Chains A and B, each alone.
Chain A
């Protein structure tokens, strides 16, 4: 494999090989990187229904189809209708239900305020339970949406096979261990294979996955897998650099520390030069 881009020969070869294989791999006879990692993770057949966010956890992913189903994609066109019907079931939270959940959240916040020793009748705290409940719902609004809803309209056929990068996407998420924010920047790059996606949709994918209770590693992987599933590109790269308030405000209290995670799929994983180009282009001076 040379350091250059994928030659057009590959597409002809792919046409004759497994048609449903995601077009990430360079060599048509080898299973794609994506399928590899997922198959390796198939240890248990146990599936947890409400674990919308646990799909990329090591023990949870039970196959490519499960991931696709949770995100609304169908592996085969015949399943697409079923997928559409399932789409309604795929989000663990509906936007219309948020209102009805508010009283329970408010009561919980009143308990918390009292448990901290605060006086919930003082002027500044009178409506705090309601505001905090709404804020928390906003900060976890990623559970409302699936990637399918967002991406499906904005995928275009375009004969472009050079790297596309969207960088410095501000990201705000909640640490699932302490319920404290972590925030930073996301850089996404992909090499399209006949299909490009609207640029703001990349930022929307980040929004969907980050507005949840998250772990930074899982967030990175979910973004990368969503893009690769939707577009079947030649390669996807996602780098996240974030500051974790759970480390800055409490615990070790290291103010200036940053956590960097990355996910490289396809060409970005196989070819070091491609990866270097992406990292050089996303480096901030």
Chain B
């Protein structure tokens, strides 16, 4: 399994400004990335320190992703694994309701991780426009569904994205598609937030980006502590959003209303 496409941004995010080999889409070339301590404020403003757009776009082109053929080929082994799981749980896989469950569950799981099949460059390349607009653009209440990478249990919630364009704007649905690519993976909410923000930054070089993710984690609601109403909120503010408190305030007020 040489596919090293999992979301490595937890280590990658610190190095996004420095390691030109690593692609923002989270593909990690082992040994290239310098791993720094994982503190919130340790990333410099990527808009200034990031690699030139051309090299980033090139590295995006080199991403290796899962393909539809890969999906088909791994389906039997996934189905067999689910069969083992059903037996291990004490169920009878031959009863009517469970007969095709291994296949359905395998296909469902492949769907829940279809973010590995897509490339940012395919989605974004066409929809970046030159527009003389420098006011805040916000797309809020984007429904997000992800999988907890620790328990393989769903996470769902809402994503709010805002950015201050710098002569280049992005098609609005592309923001939602960026959310889709990164959320349909085995994820950690912190990493998801950061990946979305960094992707927008890399694509547009805006004056600033703010991303807020508010989600419910089934691993906390259905098991473990079992707190039904708890929500986890993470945010990433880059550029002007980080430096200027008034901009940040405006963004946070607008997504709350």
Contact = CB atoms under 8 A, between A and B. Distances in A.
- The answer to whether A and B assemble together is yes
Interface of A: 48, 50-54, 57, 59, 92-93, 101, 104-105, 107-109, 111-119, 122-125, 127-128, 131-133, 135-140, 143, 170, 172, 176-181, 183, 213, 215, 245-246, 248-250, 255
A135 B223 CA distance: 7
A48 B3 CA distance: 43
Contacts of A250: 108, 111-112
B257 interface: no
Contacts of B5: 117
B108 A180 contact: yes
Given A124-B150, A125-B6, A111 B90 contact: no
B143 interface: yes
Interface in B71-106: 74-75, 77-78, 80-82, 84-92, 94-98, 100-101, 104-106
Given A108-B88, A143-B91, 14 more contacts: A48-B95, A57-B95, A57-B96, A115-B75, A117-B66, A118-B186, A119-B1, A122-B6, A124-B10, A124-B186, A132-B152, A140-B90, A213-B98, A249-B112
Given A109-B81, A111-B77, A181-B218, A124 B188 contact: yes
Nearest to A122: B6
Given A179-B105, A179-B108, A249-B156, A105 B85 contact: yes
Interface of B: 1, 3-6, 8, 10, 66, 70, 74-75, 77-78, 80-82, 84-92, 94-98, 100-101, 104-106, 108-113, 116, 143, 145, 149-154, 156, 186, 188, 218-219, 221-223, 228
Contact of B95 (A51, A179, A180): A51
A136 B218 CA distance: 12
Contact of B4 (A119, A123, A136, A179): A119
Contacts of B70: 117
